[in-house]
Amino acid sequence: MIAYLWQRHVDLNQRNRESGEDLLKRVKAEMGADDLAQGATWLNAQGIGSMPGPAHNWREMWKLYQRAGLLLRLADFADRDRSPEAKHLDPRMVIALRRDAMQIRISALTAMAGSAFAR
């Protein structure tokens, strides 16, 4: 238990020290805007919980879930950022980013769980 709490402490410190530029580089490296939009469109078109069974779809849903986590980190950074450039950031945009990322994560988990229980 102590090892877990220590690891969480270390992870949170690393996350808090991450700069906006580093986070944007990571987002751009791990995903294109089209990838996330295509995954969200697929979820909406198929309906929640109707994910087909092949393993590659599970991997795609998990990848979509993880990528939405990066968007959540980006929104958290925007909330914490107090630089002069951040003054021009619309708080409604950050709220929308967080809402959309959470919706993608919930939809991906629901689709995976629905597929698992349908078998």
Instruction: Give pTM, 2 decimals.
Output: 0.67
Is position 6 within any domain? Answer: no
Which domain covers residue 33, as residue numbers? 20-118
Number of domains present in the structure of the chain = 1
Is position 8 within any domain? Answer: no
Q: What is the pLDDT along the chain (119 residues), one digit of tens a residue?
A: 898 899 888 887 877 777 777 777 777 777 665 555 565 555 555 554 444 445 457 788 888 888 888 888 888 888 887 677 667 778 888 899 899 999 999 988 888 887 777 66
Length of the chain (residues): 119
Residue ranges in 1-119 assigned as alpha helix (H)? 2-17, 20-30, 33-46, 55-80, 91-118
CA–CA dist 52, 118 (Å, integer) = 10
Query: Given phi > 0 = left and psi -120 to 50 = alpha, else beta, which region is 105?
Result: alpha
* Predicted local confidence at residue 48, as pLDDT: 47
